[in-house]
Amino acid sequence: MNVNDMLKKQDYVLSDFISERSVKARYWKDNIARYAITLGGIVIVSMVCLILCYLFLEVYPLFKPAQVKKELSVSFSDYTSDKILHSGFSESAALGYIIDAQGKVIYYDTKHGRMHAEFQLKEVKKGLRLLTVVDASRHLIAYMNTENVIYFAEVGFIDSFENNQHQLLPNVRYQENVVVLPPGEHHPTSFVVKENNTQLTVVFLDSQNNLYKKQYIKEQSMFSDEILLKEEPVVSLSVPAFSVQKLLIDQDQRWLYALEQQGHIEVYDLQRIGQEKFDIISLSSDGNEERPSVTSADLLHGDFSLLVGDSTGQISQWFPVRKEDGSLDFTRIRSFKLGSSPIISIWHEQKRKGFVALSARGQMGIFNATAESKVWQGKVKDVSDLSFVSLSPRADYLSVLTEKKLQLFSVNNRHAEVSWSSLWKKVWYEGYSKPEYVWQSSSASNDFEPKFSLVPLAFGTIKAAFYAMLFAVPLAICGAVYTAFFMHAGLRNQVKPAIELMAALPTVILGFIAGLWLAPFLEQYLLAVLILFTTTPAVILLVGLGWNRLPLRVKSKIPDGSIPLILIPFLLLFIYFVISYGPSIEGALFGGDFKAWLSSMGIRYDQRNALVVGIIMGFAVIPTIFSIAEDALFSVPKTLMYGSFALGATPWQTLVRVILPTSSPGIFSGVMIGFGRAIGETMIVLMATGNTPVMEFSIFEGLRTLSANIATEMPETEVASTHFRILFLAAFVLFIFTFILNTTAELVRQKLREKYGNL
């Protein structure tokens, strides 16, 4: 063997060794990459599932049914032998109290049922004639003794801190002012009192069924902080048609409700004394039906709505609705059913639009008016001598009273305002003339009725995404088609990275530009911008037609890669012309104010509207759609294009029948990803829309999206509150919506790939 043969053999051995080692290295690298990618995919899917589970855990308590548990029964036979007229609880429900017919106030421990303290109301020698609640939140009652004198007492509690320990001490505090009813032939049989910062009103009914109103104007003493009552003359009201069972007055002291036992309620407008009864609420809407009798009533929290219980076990909600002619009409808004026996007691919650009702057969139900739902229903075991039901200030305890016994129940009902109806259906809110979709989570008023409809937010999300895609999709796809199929390679290498670089712009900067520059600009030059939208395509076509008509010797002097740049000066000149002469056109056609003309046509214009969002969010979405669509178009095999040309097809025929169908899965993916980006966008819509949750599809009005609403209200809401969890529900809805959208898009993309993959 010569030297050359030995060297060749050595090379073969070395090459075999290198090949074997490279194969093993490649094998390990492939395995590491495969496992790393698999692990990364599992981690990503797991994180998405964890996010979904976390959202679900935050949302689930909204739909948990209320829980009511009997805690104890308390017998008051050892402490009082008289009928119980009223009961109440402290704010934390640690202590409760009852008031009997002799004016005895008995405080008891709700945990063990033992008597805690006892007081006697002053100036009650022969017992109480009548008692009414003036303000439940302050535990303020008014009671009348046998001399027809009305006294005011706050049967409340004092917080004491001794030795660094919190104690809740019972306390009965009396107001200095008293009301002396005028002497008359007939004694009062029922009375009601309401007060506010300016006046106090007393309405009483005598044994002859005559109604009287006595009003006091509050004035502050010049020498002290004492509030003096300036008495006004007694006013006689219209005589009710039937015997009155109960009197109620709203907190504004305007509406007086006289509940009669013959199936209807007479309503008096106390601001229109001298006129007859304002209206009559009939429990039966059909005059041919037998009218049920009124058995109980109460005013809902805020005193705007009236709750009426009847002999058929139904509770109906009424409130005044303003008609088209400006007059008010008391309207039955909704009804609730609690068994078939008469309703004997209704007690409203002090902080929400909820109430509890008790029937004669011991059926007890907890309801929420806004949610239009029966939250819970159960039965009281001991139904003998049922008297009335009451709720604690936080609605976490309720008591059912008989003449001598009290049954105490704990209540877990934190999110009663939420139901499918309140979230996704029209709700007839207090003060509205008809049912509507409304999102309004807070207000300065304590009597506010939360409005948690997610429909305006979902509508605003879709509206913003629709106008953004309407602006972005044509520009992005047409730009991708031209760049990938018609543009010179040298110019494409500059244009594509420049457009993709637009995706790196922070959305907060885009929102800042939209809110501070674009919105005022559009408001000033609205007509000019609309003219640009409608005429710019025609200008582009005219410039292209003019270019084609130029002599060949002129066109040959322009490099191929620079031909599209010729269009830019013409577009800039046209835009400058339209913006400059837009006010003149507006003056000639619309009297100088296009927005006023829109207003006369019933179209409202908001400065921050969907047009601003469509332009600026479309600008943010264009790079995503353009990049994916352009890659899909450019990736079509050149052999397909050359084959089409070889068969005699024109470039446009090749584009429409070969390139676009083959790249349609990628184009569709780009559009869907852009749509998902628009659905979830937050900062742009937060800064450029005015954040108004309105249900109008007009491009000139604002909107509020789910994501922007979460960003706006989440920092201000109380953790674990109903509002807090509804914001998580909005995030959950957004998550599910984008999941369905992306899943559907992937299925459509797979179908398109199967259909056109064999071309």
Torsion of CA 365, 369, 371, 377, to 10 degrees: 0
- Amino acid letter, 479: G
Looking up tokens 């002999």 gives: 311
Cβ burial of 293 (10 Å; 0-12, 13-18, 19+) is middle
- Gap between the Cα atoms of 515 and 686, Å rounded: 9
What torsion do the CA atoms of 99, 104, 108, 110 make, to the nearest 10 degrees? Answer: -10
pLDDT digits (tens, 9 = 90+) for 142-171: 998 888 888 999 998 888 887 777 788 888
Q: Are 121 and 105 in contact (CB under 8 A)?
A: yes
Question: What does the mean pLDDT of the chain come to?
Answer: 86
Q: What residue has token string 């706006």?
A: 712
Q: What is the pLDDT of residues 183-201, one digit of tens each?
A: 665 678 888 999 888 888 9
The pLDDT value given to residue 716: 86
* Longest pairwise C-alpha distance within the chain: 147
Does the pLDDT of residue 404 top 50, yes or no?
Answer: yes
Position 71 pLDDT exceeds 80: yes
The pair of three-digit structure tokens given for residue 517, joined into one six-digit string: 């520059």
**What is d(CA 507, CA 505) in angstroms, rounded to the nearest whole number?**
6
Per-residue pLDDT band for 588 (boundaries 50, 70, 90) equals confident
φ/ψ of residue 206, rounded to 5: -100, 180
8 A C-beta contact, residue 321 and residue 328: yes
List all residues 6 or more positions away from 534 whose beta carbon is below 8 Å from its beta carbon: none
Cα 586–Cα 591–Cα 594 angle in degrees, nearest 5? 50
Residue with tokens 């789910």: 706
Give me the pLDDT at residue 478, please: 92
Question: What are the residue ranges of helices labelled H in 567-695?
Answer: 567-590, 594-600, 610-634, 638-646, 651-654, 660-680, 683-688
What pLDDT, on a 0 to 100 scale, did the predictor assign at position 627?
A: 92
DSSP 24-50: HHHHHHHHHHHHHHHHHHHHHHHHHHH
Determine the average pLDDT of the residues in 733-738. Answer: 90
- The whole-number average pLDDT for the span 72-87 is 81
Backbone angles phi, psi at 389, to 5 degrees: -120, 145
82, 403 in Cβ contact below 8 A? no
Q: What pLDDT, on a 0 to 100 scale, did the predictor assign at position 111?
A: 87
Task: For 405-421, write each residue's pLDDT tens digit.
Answer: 888 999 999 999 999 99
Of 495 and 386, more confident: 495
Query: Residue 423: is its pLDDT beyond 90?
Result: yes
Mean pLDDT, range 59-73, rounded to an integer? 90
Q: Stretch 724-737: mean pLDDT, rounded?
A: 93
Tens-place pLDDT, residues 472-486: 999 999 999 999 888
Banded pLDDT at 553 (limits 50, 70, 90) = confident
Cα–Cα distance, 475 to 467 (Å, whole number):
13
Size of the chain, expressed as the number of residues it contains: 759
Q: Which of 108, 142, 103 is nearest to 124 (CA)?
A: 103
Give yes or no for residue 289 having a pLDDT over 60: no
Give mean pLDDT, residues 219-233: 76
**Distance (Å, rounded) from C-alpha 267 to C-alpha 4?**
121
Which of these, 353, 364, 351, lies nearest to 399 by C-alpha position? 364
Is residue 428 scored above 60 in pLDDT?
A: yes
Q: What is the CA radius of gyration of the chain?
A: 38
% of the chain with per-residue pLDDT over 90:
33
Per-residue pLDDT at 288: 45
Do residues 291 and 262 make contact, with C-beta atoms less than 8 angstroms apart? yes
Residue 285 banded pLDDT, cuts 50, 70, 90: very low
pLDDT single digits (tens) 614-657: 999 999 999 999 999 999 998 888 888 888 888 888 888 998 88
Tokens of 120: 């006697």
Mean of the pLDDT values across residues 226-234?
80
Q: How much is the pLDDT for 237?
A: 81
Instruction: Report how far residue 415's alpha carbon sits from residue 392's, in angstroms, rounded to the nearest whole number.
Output: 16
Cα separation of 377 and 511, whole Å? 50
Tell me the CA distances in angstroms from 324 to 331, 429, 642, 741, one per residue in order: 14, 17, 71, 43
How far apart, in Å, are the Cα atoms of 390 and each of 98, 231, 348?
A: 11, 33, 8
Question: By mean pLDDT, which of 85-99, 282-296, 533-547 is the weakest?
Answer: 282-296
Measure the CA–CA gap between 211 and 191, rounded to whole angstroms. Answer: 9
Read off the tokens for 560: 């191929």
Confidence of residue 443 (pLDDT cuts 50, 70, 90): confident
Give Cα 245 to chain centroid, integer Å. Answer: 39
pLDDT score of 6 more than 60:
no
pLDDT of residue 161: 80
Question: Which residue(s) pair with 162 in the sheet?
Answer: 165
8 Å CB contact between 217 and 229: yes
pLDDT tens per residue across span 85-104: 888 999 888 899 988 888 89
**Which two structure tokens, joined as six digits, stand for 191?**
């009375």
Cα 444–chain centre separation? 16
Decide: residue 332, CB within 10 A, 0-12 exposed, 13-18 middle, 19+ buried: middle
Per-residue pLDDT at 16:
55
Q: What's the pLDDT tens digit per position in 299-313? A: 999 889 999 998 889
Strands 294-299 and 279-282: unpaired
Average pLDDT of span 53-69: 92
Three-state secondary structure call for residue 229: strand
Q: Which secondary-structure segment (H or E) carries 532?
A: helix 526-549
pLDDT tens column, 328-351? 888 899 999 998 899 999 999 998
Q: How confident is the model at residue 263 (pLDDT cuts 50, 70, 90)?
A: low
- Predicted confidence at residue 7, as pLDDT, reads 47
The structure's pTM equals 0.87
Average pLDDT over residues 695-723: 91
Q: 686-697: per-residue pLDDT in tens?
A: 888 888 898 888
pLDDT over 80 at 240, yes or no: no
Q: Which of 215-219, 454-458, 508-512, 705-709 has the lowest mean pLDDT?
A: 215-219
What does the angle CA 333 – CA 335 – CA 340 come to, to the nearest 5 degrees?
160
H-helix or E-strand spanning residue 479 = helix 455-481
Instruction: Specify the residue for token string 């066109």.
Output: 555
Whether residue 278 is predicted with pLDDT greater than 70 in this model: the reply is: no
Write down the pLDDT at residue 740: 86
Q: Which residue has the higher pLDDT, 78 or 222?
A: 78
